[in-house]
Amino acid sequence: MTSLVDVVRYANPNARARGMKSLLLSDRDMKMLLGAKTLGDIAGLLDGMPYSKDIRSVDSLTVKNLEDALTKNLLDANKKILKIVDSDARDFFAFRLKKYEIAVLKELITSKIENTLVETVDELMLSPRIRKMLPKLLEAGNIDDLLELLHDTEYGEALKKTGNSETTLALTLALDLYYYNKLLEKVNLLKKKNDKKIAKKFITTEIDVTNLMTMLRCKKLGVEPGGFLIPAKTGFFEITKKYMTAESVEDFVEKISETVYGRLLKKHTGEYERTKSLQGFEIALKRHLLQKNRNLMKGYPFQMGSILGYLKLKETEIENLRAIVVGIGNGLSADEVEGLLII
């Protein structure tokens, strides 16, 4: 139950968050953007939307420059939230931003193992220490050199726990495990009981989806997922653990077919069997997570839930806009791009 104290504490932050939420793009806006033929069309449309300041700062219309402008917009939104939230919750909200730094590290790990070139990365979301290290991280000759550079960072211990398993999957999942374990620690440090309860609901829902994707990736590659599942007190975590011995992606989906997630994934098994790509599963799970966050946001309109819900909506909007920019920039059709959107 929402207490009067909570309503008062979050009156100003929630009013600000609602104001920011009103600036999110509408379905009509997204349809207009999907109709764009060129990067110039996208920039022109965004210039007439709440992204005008960021778009007008772009020197030349490239996919990278537009992505950077969108990332800056997301960073600015997070900075505004950090200024308005209760001081007790600020550390939790600040740590949430680590997911973007970890995404960059995953990209670098993948490039070193798969021997692909990464010339630039999304620097805006990096912490000062990792940003300072970035030139050396980009220049690392192989995965061992990269891990050595990261050894003394906050990620060193988590990456070290993979032992000799220097695979893309093992190292990237180790970073996920580190992030969510630390995020749950931040949740437990929240002093207000309702804040803790609401934050846990949002984060454990995200963890369920992350664990599902971990299981699917492991089953596809035929490796054991046990050490990489993020422990969380959810009923679905126990179900996920129960079926760790499933023989394949299809077998795992069949075993959980009576659950909400199982019914959702089952709709995409045909696509997986044809393409052997997990993308259909991932997009479906992200769409489900977005709807769950919308529902949670409605359930806690006067507390932290409205702020967490807004951030998820904003993050998803930026992810969709980047998909449109990258898709149109690479010649995909509107239908192909729309299939990638989290809506």
Q: Same domain for 225 and 253?
A: yes
Q: Same domain for 42 and 185?
A: no
Q: Same domain for 108 and 81?
A: no
Q: Same domain for 23 and 98?
A: no
Q: Same domain for 70 and 198?
A: yes
Q: Same domain for 182 and 316?
A: no
Q: Same domain for 201 and 323?
A: yes
Q: Same domain for 172 and 235?
A: no
Give the residue numbers spanning the domain of 105. Answer: 88-190
**pLDDT attached to residue 302:** 60
Which DSSP string corresponds to 204-257?
HHHHHHHHHHHHHHHHHHT---GGGSPP-S-HHHHHHHHTTT-SSHHHHHHHTT
Question: Beta-carbon neighbour count of residue 264 at 10 Å?
Answer: 17
Indicate the residue among 145, 167, 190 that finishes a domain.
190
The token duo for 121 is 């990365």
User: Measured between alpha carbons, how far apart are the two ends of the chain, in Å?
Assistant: 30
Q: Same domain for 105 and 40?
A: no
Q: Same domain for 335 and 237?
A: yes
Which DSSP string corresponds to 75-125?
HHHHHHHHHHS-GGGHHHHHHHTHHHHHHHHHHHHHHHHHT--------TT
Q: Same domain for 151 and 237?
A: no
**DSSP 8-class letter at 1:** -
Q: Which residues contact 333 (CB under 8 A, 6 or more apart)?
A: none
Question: Beta-carbon neighbour count of residue 50 at 10 Å?
Answer: 14
Indicate the residue among 190, 222, 253 that finishes a domain.
190
Indicate the residue among 168, 190, 212 that finishes a domain.
190
How many domains does the chain fold into? 2
Residues 176, 214: contact at Cβ < 8 Å? yes
Q: Same domain for 162 and 199?
A: no
- pLDDT 10s digit of each residue in the chain, 343 long? 455 555 556 667 778 878 888 999 999 999 999 999 999 999 999 999 999 999 999 999 999 999 999 999 999 999 999 999 988 899 999 999 999 999 999 999 999 999 998 877 888 999 999 999 999 999 999 999 999 999 999 999 999 988 766 789 999 999 999 999 999 999 999 998 989 999 999 999 999 999 999 999 999 999 888 788 998 877 788 888 889 999 999 999 999 999 999 999 999 999 999 999 999 999 999 999 999 988 888 766 667 888 999 999 999 999 999 999 999 999 999 999 999 999 9
